[in-house]
Each structure stands twice: as C-alpha cells, then as structure tokens.
Structure 1
C-alpha cells in the first residue's frame, strides 16, 4: 500500500503512483484488537474533517475583526495543514493525509461543492438580469475585459515547459480567474457596509450576477477546449452544444415542472419530504449529466438551482440544507485547495515579483473598465471607483476555476499555487479598502423636525417604531393610538422589525418585508414578521389618520443602530421608539431578554439623528378602569428640567390632546435645603474652555422656567391636564413623591436627565445603585423591579444639534405653538371628551 500523501505530491506524481485500496477496511475493530484507526477509511476521514473544520474556524475567527470573508480563513486553514506548513513534516503528511485517502476526501468535497453551487443558483434571482438593462450588463462586460487581457499576458509569464494543453485553454483559465467577481462574498460585504439596498449596492449585485453568468460560460468553454484524447476535433464543439441543450432543457421543461409541483401543494402546508428529496435528487442527476457530457458537474448543479422558482420551495430547501453544506462540507473544498498548494514550488524573485504585481494590475484594470462605463451612465466618479473595487471581490468561483484547471492538467502545481496566492491577496485587500474609503453620500438635506418639542399639532408626525419580538407590539400600538392622530396631525409610523444577521447567505438579501403576503411562514423569524405586520396593518385599518409602513432590518446587533439611524434620517422622523431590553415576568420582576438589545439602545441614543424614546413595557391597557368620568389612560410626566424633560413634557402634551388621555405633570422644584450638584461635563467644559459652569446653569434654568411657565398658562383651563408642584430637597424626598403617584398611572414619561443640573440635584444618591444608567436616575428607578409598579415607562432623550462652532443648540420651539392652539387653548366639551369609546386597540388587533 502506497504511503505517499496528498499534500506531498503533485498532480503528475499522483498519476504515476500505484495506490492499493482494501474495500473491507472501512471501519476499525478498535484499538484493543490492535488495529490502527488511521489505516481505515472512515476514522481517517473523520479525523481529516475534524482538523479541517478546526483549522478553518480558527482562521475565520481571528480574521473576522479585519472584515475578511470566510473563504480566506478556509483556504488558510488548508494552507496550514498542507505542504506549506504542517505538511512539510513527512510523517504528518503520510499518516494524516495519505494519498490513499484522496478519493474519499475529494468525493465528499465535490459533493459539498455541488450542493453549495446548487444553493448559490437557488438564491440568485434570474429576473434581475431582465431588469438591470444596459447599465449592469455594460459594467459587467467592461470590468472583465481589461483583467482578461492582463490574464493573457500573465499566462505567458507563467508558461511551463511541460504544458501539454493549448495556449487558449491556459488563457481562458487564467483570464476567468482574474476577471470574475464572487457574488456570495460581494453580497456579504455590501450587507456589512449597509449599502445592499442602496442604488450602488443593487447595481453591484446585478453586475456581479451577470459577471458570474459570463464566468460560467467561459469556464464551460475552457473545459471543452481542454478535453484530452478527443476522438475528433469536433469534441469541444459537441461539449458546448450539449451543455447548451442541457441548460435549455432545464429552463423549458424542468422549471415548468417544478412550478406545477409548487402550485399543486396546498396553500399554507409545508412541502412533503418526498418533494424535497425529489428536488435534491435532481441536483445529483444534473451534476451527473453535465459531467458525462464533458462539462464539470458543478455546472449542472448551478443551472438546476437557477431554474427553481423563487418562493417557499427554494426558501425551505435553503433552510434545511445551507448550514450543513456551508458549515461542514464546503470547507473541505477550500481546505483541499490549500492542501494542494505548495508555496515552496514558487522559486525565484522573478516569480514572486510577477505574482504580486498581477494583483494591483488586475485590480486597477477592473476599476478602470468599470469607471469608464460608469461615467457614460453619469454615475459619480467616487461611486464608480468603489464599484470597481467591489467587482474585484474574489472567492468561490475563482477557486473552482483553478481546481478544474488543475484537474484538467492545464494548470501545473506551480501555476496553481501562484494563482491561489493571488486570489488570497486580492480577496483579503478588497474588503478592508472598501470599508476604509466608502463614505455614504448624504442625499437628504437637513430637516428641522427632529424632536417632539418642535413637532406641531397641525403637521404630520413621523415616528420610527422598532420591534424585536411580537410581545412588544400591543403596548406600542396603544401608545401610538394615544399619541392622538388627527386630521390636521396624522401619524406616519415606520414599523421596523429588528432581526439579527446570523451569518446565513440567504438572510443578507432580506431587508424589507413585503406586505400582505399570503404565503405561509418559512421559519420562526418570518412568522414573527408576519405577525407584527398583520397587527399594525389592522391598527392602520381601524384607526383613522394613521399610516403604517412595515420594514425588516437584518443586521448584526453591533451595527444595528446604524440601520435604525439611516432609516430615521431618510424618512425624516421626529422620534424613534425602541423597547427596553428587559421585560416584565408574571411575578412582576423585570427580566433581561437579550443583552444585545441593551447595546443597541445605548448605541442608538449616542448616534440618533432625532429624539429617542426607550419604552419599558408593562402593558398600556387603561380601558379596564373606564368607569364614570375616568379617562382611559392616566399619563404622568415627571419634570425636573433640562432638554430631555422638555421633550418628555412635549410628548405628554400631545397625548393630552387625545379625548381619552388625562395628563398629570409633576414639577419638582429644589427646596431651600437642596444641595447644588455640579455636572461632570460642566466641570470638564470649565477646565478645557475656561467657561464658568454657573453661566450654563443660569441659561438652562431660564429656558426651563420659560418653558414650564408657558405650559402652566396653556393648561390652566384645560381639564385634561393637571399640574402639580413638588418641593423636594434630595433624592429620598423625590422618590417618596413619585411613589405617591404610583397606583393611579398607566404610563410615566420621563427624561434621561442628561445635562440638567436641577435633575442631578434632586436625584442625588439614586445613581449609586443604578442598574441601567442609560435610562437616567429617574428612568432607572421606574424600570427597576424594586419600584413595584404596573405602569409602563417612556424614557425620552432629546436630540441636540450642533452650531457652526460645535456648540450645543437647544430646541426653542414649543409643541403648542400651532396655528390651531396658539395663543388660546383648545376648548372641548366634557361630553365629547368622555364619550363612550370602543375596546382597546391591542386587545383585538393582536
């Protein structure tokens, strides 16, 4: 039995090696019988697979902070195990990766590649090609021409004396490898850059899709030209023709047949096991046919995936198959590419210089070709350059081209190793460079209504509502209904379902959910999305002057706030409402649901382009206490002063315009014995800028007094508003005053208290035991399990703009300064205000 190894021998040596296989030696009888597990195919394959997965996962993990695609880590894992590193030890190579195991490991890797290419075809929308028009087609072709020409010259540099194939075959393989774009890797980069749904992102995806189509056609042609021992010169022609017949048969016969099967499946029922197995068997049949006619088996799997219609069948197959194929079998293929790569074969400075020089030349060639066509279509130069960089993304298709070329003996081991290094370097450079230079262009002019304080009662109110799970929906719906949508001030609610990006390729392209979908839910996430959309659509239909636009954002929790901020600015909303990261349990305790939700909230408050309200959900169903003249919702605003409290009072004022909302404003005033507390920020400002912090306090107090005094005048004759002043001297007296309001409220609205000296004075000591400082002292108190309240809490953070010199610019508008309400207060009869009202919205909508 030959003891040579996969990783120690070239393709030519393998041909001359005599390998003896023992069919009975599949499973061992055990160590106690004296058997060596590495002499048996199954335990040896398990060990190889384990080493491949561990090594590739290791590199994927350490390269993730550098924005590197997974394919880089998988190839580097193979390089680690191959002759470039560990494989240089002959004992390791001959025992762990002996040449006799090549058939098993390459067969499994090929099966993984076949099914992965099927999934890639399944996820591609061929209708995009029809919709792209001349722009994407022209950019795709132009971006391939210059790198392909470079490949022609590079093939002469790589000329090997033992090359038995035609020059045309070598040119095609090298040209395709340098000019192609990796569609799956590009989609991942676009998703991480948050541009997958921009015009640039859509154009990049469409261009990459067409590029991949051209690459597959050229690869099929290269395989046909590299056929050996042909009976006649027409063999290559027959390969091309039969491949075309196969593709035509798939689109004309197979696609309608699968569409018929989908239509015959009862609506709302999952596909049967027989149907799934029938489709998956078709993958192997297609791969077998294309391998028999002379094209590579992956070509058949890819075409078969393309012809399956988009919809529930494709999504179901992806759901069942993708994790196993992408996570376990596909790394074998990339690792094998590393195992076959021997960097030591690349000898001489000239060889290394030529290999490294082709990287910038190929990148520049693709950028120039893309930029020239982009300018013809009046695409900005900066975006044209970025698009050219994105088109340089390499990955799966390049490695397939190189491996097929090696199998066809067109690429020798040295050329193969050089091209693997070139692919690694190009792929590793593109993602960090694009991440570094890409700066999204601001397409919208600045808008003014970024807060509730400057949102008037005679203009539309735009709200962005974020939802993690369906449990958040009932309270949010009741809150929106109580925010008083009216004919003069309708509410436009953008409902954003936040979904974590788990690393699945199929999830990257799902950003906006379609409305009124009659298809059954394919998974738990889609079922939640459908549930949320249906609830808000019912709310829109039953409540007048409310428009709802549901969306779904799929992104990692670490960057989810960027999606929220971008959407808020694009839609010009005045406030973002997002759930608190804790939920109330049956026994009244506040339990943390997901720590990542807290990170999202924190990042959102720090970066939001408008005001933010964090909703602590304990339910908002006040109609069960509707007796006599009681209002349906008792809302209390705790006012200490400062921009956040002014924002809270503005929201409470708008809610008080609702005929079924009663507002209580408790104004806390420092007593004679209250100690003055200096904010750390003001001390820093004093030290750094030489400004006395007392001047800031005086200015802030003047703004607060002017705001609250005008509110008192406005609400003096308004029976829907009750104004209470509480004189307190410390945090303990403040807590006692708040507890006195506890049993009569459905909702507390408070400010975070950032930047307010009066709030810091009256809450001194409360922050010493703070669990959630992002809510501020009062918000943290009300959200705590120790407070024992059944009222929900809305913690407000007001957006503060910057002046031309970086100074803070506070909002001076007041929400009651509308054409209808200024200077007099709206008068409403008691009969109108307390007329009978229907059941609460969330009770029958959700």
Structure 2
C-alpha cells in the first residue's frame, strides 16, 4: 500500500494533505494597495484570464477527444469528462506549468462560481427537454425497471459506503457519504441517454422508449432524494428543513405555470416570431436566476429551482426558441467548468492508497453492475430476451452531467473524500465507455437478425398480418402511398399495421429525435417553422382517416427528425424493432403538368439510395402518377387495374408476393405477365457456358437455381389462383429489352399500377440493354423503363426489392439461403 505524505510542496504551493476530506494550501497572494479605497491590481484580472485560458484549453482538448472517439460511437460527455480528468492532478495537472498557470488553487473559487451558473442553466434545459407524458402510460415492465433501477443501486450505494467505512480509519468516515453514493449510483441522466440513443439510432425502438421513460422516473426520484439529502445535511438532520423547498415548488407549479401557459398561447396565436417573443424569452431566462436564488434561500441548490422551472414550461414555440438561442452556449461554454472542477478533484496518483487493489476494483465493479443486475432480474421475471435486459441495464447506467453534479455536491458537503470521489468518477467513465459496444453487440449486430429473412412476403402466408413502414417527406407524398395501402387488401382476417413515418430534416437540435403522435396531442417537430407543424398534422390526420375507412388497418403515426445523411439508419432500426415486412418510400421526383418530372428534393434521393442499400427488410419505391383507387361509397364498388411484370430473381418474386396480396381485394384486377427467354437468348446462353471455367460453371448453377425458384413460385401462384376470375396470367417470350418495351407498349399499356422487381444484384440477358443508359439506378432497369415510357394511361410504378441482412453475404449466398427456405432445405 502507498501512503500520501502529510506535507509536501508543489510549485508555489505548500500543501498539508492527508487522506481526509480536508487539506490546507498555503501560497503568497500579495496585492499592493495604492490607496485606502482602491487596489492597484483588479481582483478580476487575477482570475478572469486564468478562467479564459482554462476554458480555451479544455474546449480544445475535448474537441480533439471527440474526433478521436467519434468512430467508437462514444458520446460527447465522455470526451468532456476525460478532458477534465486529463487536466487534473492525476495526469497533466501534475506538471508544474499546468498546476501553476492552468489549474491554480486560487482560481478555484471563480471556476466553481461559473460551474454553478452553468449547472443551473443546464438543469433548466433538462427540465425543458423532459417529457412527463410517457410516465402516465408507463407499462408494467418499464415501471419495474425504473423501480428496481432505483432501489437496487440505492442499496448498493449504502452497502459500498459501509464497506469503505469499515476498511478505512474512523476519522475519515462521513455519515452523509451514504446519501451521495446511493444517489450517484441510482441516477440515470435523461438528456445524455437521449443523445446516446439518438447516436445509436435506437431512440425510436421499444428498447429506447423503455429506457427513456424509466430514466424520467429515475431523474425525478433522484432529484427529490438529492434535495432531501442536501436539506437534511444543511439542517442538521432535521426533516422539516425540506418543507420550504416543497412549498416553493408547489407555488411554482400552481401559480407560475398558468402564467407561462398564457405566454405560450400568446406566442402560438401570433403565427410567427415577433419582437415580443424575444422579450418573453428574456423574461423566462431571468426567471432561471430568480428560481435558483429562491431555492438557495430554501436550503437547496440553485439548479433544482431552474430544473423545476424548465419542467413546468409546456411544449411549444417558446421552448423551441429558448433551446435554439441558449442550448449550444450553455452546453459548449457554461458547462465545461463543471468538468474542470471534476478533473481537479480526481486524483488517480493515489488511487489505491491505504486500500487493497482488489477491494477497490470490487467497489468499482459493483458500482457499475448494480443497474445491470436489476434490469436483468426484471427481464428474467417478465421473460424478456436477455439481450434486452443487458442493453437496458447498460443504458440505465448512463450517468452523464447529472451524475457529475451529484458527485460535486457530495464532495462540497464532504460526502466523498478525494479518493472515493476518484473511484466513482472512474466508474462513471467505465459505465459510459461500455454503453456503445454492449448495445451495438446486442441490438446492432447481425446475430439476432438471422430470423428476419422469414418475414419476407415471399415466405409469408397470404392471410398473415402485414406490417408496413410507410415513409413520407411531405403532404405531396400522401395521396399515392395511401392509395397503395387502400388496395393492399386490409381485412379483419388479414390486417395491415401501418407505421406512418414523417421524415423531417434535423434543424435546431443537437441530436436526432423521434416523436410518437397521439390523436389529441400537439405535434412538435423540433423546428421553428409553423408550416412544418401544420404539415405534420395533415399527415397524421390523413393516415388516421385511412384507418377509419379501413377496419382491417391499424395506423401508428410518428415523426423522425434526423439529418438526411443518417435518416435511413433511423428508418431501418424502426423497421427492425417493429418487425416490418416492407418499407414503402416515395420517388424523389414528382410529375408536372407538362408530363415531365420535377425534383422534390435531391436529399430525398440520397435517403432512398441509402435505404435500398441497407434496408433489413423488403422495400418498395413508389413512383406516383396519380394513383387514386378509392372505393365509391355510392356504387359500393371500384376497380383498379394492376399489372405485375415478372422477369427473374428474388426481387421479382417479392414483387409478385405483394401483388398477390393485392389480388385478394375483390375489386382489383391483376395481370401477371412473365417474360421468359426466347430461343435466341437460350442458344446464346448455351454457347457461352464453359463448364471448364469454375466461375462460369458456378454462374450457370446459380442461374438454374434462380430459374427453379421462379418456376416453383409462379406455379404455386397459378395453382392457388386458377379459379380467381380477376387474375390473369400471360407468358411472353422475348429475346431483348427492346422486345419487352415493344410488348408493354402494344399490349400491356393500360393499367393503373405496375408492380416490378428492382432486379438488384441480378444480371438478366432480357434487361441488359435497358440498364445501359440508366439515369435512376434505384428504379431498376424495368422500373426506369416504365417511368420513361409514354403509356396510354398515366400509370404509377411500384419497384420492389427483397433485402437481406448484411450478414448474409454476397448475392450468391443470399440466393442460396432463399433456396433453402423455399424448398424446405
């Protein structure tokens, strides 16, 4: 064991230091006085330049760490906490220049003052972001995770504190340490968890919603426990000292909240931003200081009053504008001092002093595993997958800035000494480091996606429920997609669950988000533009009307707010979480009045291409030319003419499966046209076959396997629909793409909708000529041909692609897997 000396010199400081909570620092701070009233040296000049230097160096180091850790999916909090620890006495702070100039002891008071200001405003922003509505609809599993996630770490905190007390000298055993150990381990930082889930693209999943809802309960509970603990310590363990704080919060809720609601309604009624709204924002920001001051007078920390103020402000334009104006300044400028304070208080040099290394490691391990064990116990009781329990436990261990605040409050009240404080800081660092890798392993690896292949339409029974993820960018995409859903044969026996996703570009936020809409809930897309809110309301209303008109349909609307570059990840993860069979997306161009095409948004093309490359399930791209096959309530019937053009491959089989499901609608006429190779193509294939070439031989086997799969599926379709008068089958021999175009133009040119396979990864001699001049490869050779042709009717086109998880490998291995599924191998 190593022991810290009782006295030593460090630079210009003489330090009397034991392992207790208190130490004495002596230094000369002579300030010549020019008169009896004025100092010749401005006291601000001795601390402000140091603070500016600290801030500059900290921001530079933290930004470098962010760049280095970004590929590892580590959050911003880890970079900032690491930067603070690096500048502390356990690392760079040991050097003379940094200790004397960058982290001098005489600058700590000013640094702590600025840290408290930053914490106050940060907690105000936390209150603004926190949504209490999910708590009212919390399920049994979520509530159990939240409760166990509080009780078990509370017990662990008390137990670990008792162990440490028994193994160290009695003069260093503060009783109030148990309070802060327990609160620090029980806490789950809601804002930091939201950002981690957003970065991992899991916010919209059931896992993410469960974690966030439980985090809200944990945050509120731990905030209350912290107020009680601080009040008890300040009031010499008298419980009544917490009453003023509770009275203050009650007054805030019942008097200030209605007044702020009036301000929000006034701003919403104004229609657009005005100068008056800036005055309202300044008034609210002034209330942050006032509420913090009041709670300080009542015996609690100022951040609690600011947090409650943010919590009572309802969602709307005011909240969005406040976050837009102050969020980045608070997080980027006012918050770093708290990390610097944490770093200067973390000394890893004497990490194991007076203690056995194994005991210290055991304390850190138990601190990390308390919430994980709790989540695993709950999932085991409710028979949930263990991977969900492990991921939930790790996510509930997200400590973030709130835990740092609790640690520093405990350190200020001598609940931690420097050594135990350092232990918990390192434990928080380790908790944060493992979140990304563990959650990626459990929910983003390909291990648990292997069974997803079975959800393809090709391998689904016709009467099984269909789960569709319908994506829209604007109201202009609504008509075609809803019409397509109308003819998709939703019945009570074969229902359709539609997850209607409104895709919105990320603007004015630091992280992506996803909003689930209730029928009577105001929609907030996180942007300033009221037009986008109105558009979101129209989209939700249109899909709800579709649900009301179709008794076999269930609609769950939501809004994805994300950068275009990563929007496909949110959609893919939501499709995985909801076990969607197919994703429907709109083409990025729309027809104009002259018969041409108008760009909707070039970024939409990027989203479509990314989805087609990464989608874990089948995907349908709709080129809408006015598809309106709605039922006629007066006549009671309507007719929609659909043609499915079949060439070859898994994409065509998936397209046929979707068209087959449509054909169950009694008012829909389906024509299946299969193009098969003519004599010229067959002879050419035979001539080019070289069985002595392994690669050519392998391609031949693959081609024959694909043809066998196609024949089996077509034969099954014909056999099961042979008595259906609304379905017709035509087989057409062709030798080139030109003959396909000629056949469509002459005989198959009068339909409302064409359904085709994209043909991705398949090289067909029938469409080889069509793909040589492709302008929109996402449509496939035949799809782009149909879009560019001048047909008798303005037909819409649905291009279908059957996607497989990336773990399936190359095209050949994917086809082999499909063969086994179809043939029962």
Specify whether residues 104 and 4 from structure 1 end up closer, same or farther in structure 2 by C-alpha distance, changes over 3 A only: farther
Q: Deviations over 1:493-543 (max 9, x none)?
A: 4422245678958864x4422235467876345444223223334556678
Specify whether residues 328 and 374 from structure 1 end up closer, same or farther in structure 2 by C-alpha distance, changes over 3 A only: same
1:566 to 561, 576, 593: 576
**1:236 CA displacement:** 6.2
Residue in structure 2 matched with residue 295 of structure 1 by the alignment: 300
Within 1, Cα distance between the matches of 2:511 and 2:401? 16
**1:577 CA displacement:** 1.7
Specify whether residues 199 and 754 from structure 1 end up closer, same or farther in structure 2 by C-alpha distance, changes over 3 A only: closer
CA contact (8 A) 1:640 1:667 kept: yes
CA contact (8 A) 2:709 2:819 kept: no
CA contact (8 A) 1:114 1:301 kept: yes
Within 2, Cα distance between the matches of 1:366 and 1:492? 35
Residue 451 (str. 1) matches residue 462 (str. 2): no
**1:359 CA displacement:** 1.5
Specify whether residues 382 and 474 from structure 1 end up closer, same or farther in structure 2 by C-alpha distance, changes over 3 A only: closer
The aligned runs of 1:373-388 (5 Å cut-off) are 387-388=392-393
Specify whether residues 792 and 178 from structure 1 end up closer, same or farther in structure 2 by C-alpha distance, changes over 3 A only: same
Specify whether residues 750 and 275 from structure 1 end up closer, same or farther in structure 2 by C-alpha distance, changes over 3 A only: same
Residue in structure 2 matched with residue 793 of structure 1 by the alignment: 797
2:161 to 152, 155, 168: 152
Q: Deviations over 1:462-511 (max 9, x none)?
A: 64422233332233234445667799988664422245678958864x44
2:191 to 181, 184, 187: 184
Residue in structure 1 matched with residue 121 of structure 2 by the alignment: 115
Q: Deviations over 1:135-170 (max 9, x none)?
A: 46742442233322233235427858996xx72233
Within 2, Cα distance between the matches of 1:415 and 1:488? 62
When the two structures are superposed, what TM-score results if normalisation uses the length of structure 2?
A: 0.74
**1:640 CA displacement:** 2.1
When the two structures are superposed, what TM-score results if normalisation uses the length of structure 1?
A: 0.72
Residue in structure 2 matched with residue 531 of structure 1 by the alignment: 538
**1:655 CA displacement:** 6.8
Residue in structure 2 matched with residue 821 of structure 1 by the alignment: none
**1:288 CA displacement:** 1.1
Residue 397 (str. 1) matches residue 408 (str. 2): no
1:764 to 762, 765, 768: 768
CA RMSD of aligned residues (A): 5.5
**1:796 CA displacement:** 1.7
Task: Tell me the secondary structure at the aligned position of residue 808 of structure 1.
Answer: helix
The aligned runs of 1:495-510 (5 Å cut-off) are 495-499=500-504, 508=513, 510=514
Within 1, Cα distance between the matches of 2:68 and 2:749? 53
CA contact (8 A) 2:174 2:415 kept: no
Residue in structure 1 matched with residue 759 of structure 2 by the alignment: 753
CA contact (8 A) 1:71 1:334 kept: no
**1:117 CA displacement:** 0.8
Within 2, Cα distance between the matches of 1:783 and 1:93? 70
Task: Tell me the secondary structure at the aligned position of residue 175 of structure 2.
Answer: helix
**1:399 CA displacement:** 0.9
Within 1, Cα distance between the matches of 2:54 and 2:175? 37
Task: Tell me the secondary structure at the aligned position of residue 680 of structure 2.
Answer: coil
Residue 616 (str. 1) matches residue 623 (str. 2): yes
Within 2, Cα distance between the matches of 1:655 and 1:198? 29
Specify whether residues 706 and 46 from structure 1 end up closer, same or farther in structure 2 by C-alpha distance, changes over 3 A only: same
Residue in structure 1 matched with residue 363 of structure 2 by the alignment: 358
CA contact (8 A) 2:47 2:107 kept: yes
Residue in structure 1 matched with residue 811 of structure 2 by the alignment: none
The aligned runs of 1:711-790 (5 Å cut-off) are 725=732, 727-728=734-735, 730-731=736-737, 733-734=739-740, 747-753=753-759, 760-767=764-771, 775-779=779-783
Count of matched residue positions in the alignment of Structure 1 and Structure 2:
764
Residue 470 (str. 1) matches residue 490 (str. 2): no
Residue in structure 2 matched with residue 417 of structure 1 by the alignment: 422
Within 2, Cα distance between the matches of 1:453 and 1:439? 24
**1:285 CA displacement:** 0.8
The aligned runs of 1:546-561 (5 Å cut-off) are 548-553=555-560, 556-557=566-567, 559-561=569-571
Q: Deviations over 1:575-610 (max 9, x none)?
A: 4322245667897376732465145422554x21xx
2:281 to 276, 280, 286: 276
Within 2, Cα distance between the matches of 1:378 and 1:565? 23
Within 1, Cα distance between the matches of 2:464 and 2:377? 46
Specify whether residues 425 and 449 from structure 1 end up closer, same or farther in structure 2 by C-alpha distance, changes over 3 A only: closer
Residue in structure 1 matched with residue 216 of structure 2 by the alignment: 209
Q: Deviations over 1:637-675 (max 9, x none)?
A: 433244433554565677789999887766534333223
Show structure 1 runs of 5+ residues with no match. 23-37, 228-232, 624-630, 813-846
Specify whether residues 538 and 97 from structure 1 end up closer, same or farther in structure 2 by C-alpha distance, changes over 3 A only: same
1:167 to 166, 171, 174: 174
Specify whether residues 491 and 517 from structure 1 end up closer, same or farther in structure 2 by C-alpha distance, changes over 3 A only: same
Within 1, Cα distance between the matches of 2:709 and 2:575? 28
Specify whether residues 243 and 636 from structure 1 end up closer, same or farther in structure 2 by C-alpha distance, changes over 3 A only: same
